[in-house]
Amino acid sequence: MTASLLIAPQWIGDAVMTEPLLRVLAQRGERLSVAAMPWVAPIYSAMPQVAEVIELPFSRGALQWWARRSFAKAWRGRFERAYIAPNSWKSALLPWMAGIPVRVGYHGEARYGLLNQRLPKPDKGHRGAMVAHYLALAQAEADPTWQPKLDLPLAVLKNTLLHFDLKLGAYAVFAPGAEYGPAKRWPVAYFADMGVRIGLPVVVLGSPKESVMCEDIADQINRLAPRRARSLAGLTDLQQAMALIASAQVMLSNDSGLMHVAAALGVPQVAVFGSSSPLHTPPLNDKAQALWLKNEPSYQPPLDCAPCFARSCPLGHLRCLNDLTPERVEQAWREVVSG
Q: pLDDT (tens digit, 9 = 90+) per residue, 316-330? A: 999 999 999 999 999
pLDDT of residue 125: 47
Q: Which of 54, 96, 40 is nearest to 242 (CA)?
A: 40
Radius of gyration of the chain (CA): 21
Contact yes or no for 329/291 (Cβ under 8 A): yes
- Collapsing DSSP to helix, strand or coil, 73 comes out as helix
pLDDT of residue 168: 98
pLDDT tens-digit series, residues 173-210: 999 999 888 999 999 999 999 999 999 999 999 999 99
Q: What is the DSSP letter of 302?
A: -
| pLDDT the model gives residue 121 | 73
Pick the CATH number of 2-138 from 3.30.420.10, 3.40.50.620, 3.40.50.2000, 3.30.540.10: 3.40.50.2000
Mean of the per-residue pLDDT values of the chain? 94
Give dist(CA 133, CA 264) in Å, integer: 17
Kindly give, in sequence order, each residue whose CB lies less than 8 Å from that of residue 287, ignoring residues fewer than 6 positions away.
Answer: 266, 267, 268, 269, 336, 339
Say how far apart CA 278 and CA 292 lie, in whole Å.
8
When the candidates are 3.20.20.150, 3.40.50.2000, 3.40.50.2300, 3.30.470.20, the CATH number that belongs to 154-338 is 3.40.50.2000
Question: How, if at all, do strands 117-119 and 102-106 pair?
Answer: parallel
User: Model confidence over 87-143: pLDDT tens digits?
Assistant: 999 999 999 999 999 999 998 888 889 999 999 876 544 456 889 999 999 987 778
Burial classification of residue 304, based on how many CB atoms lie within 10 Å of its CB (0-12 exposed, 13-18 middle, 19 or more buried):
exposed
- Residue 286, pLDDT > 80, answer yes
Q: Which pTM value belongs to this model?
A: 0.95
User: In Å, what is the CA distance from 314 to each residue of 300, 307, 322?
Assistant: 20, 11, 15
pLDDT > 70 fraction of the chain, expressed in percent and rounded: 98
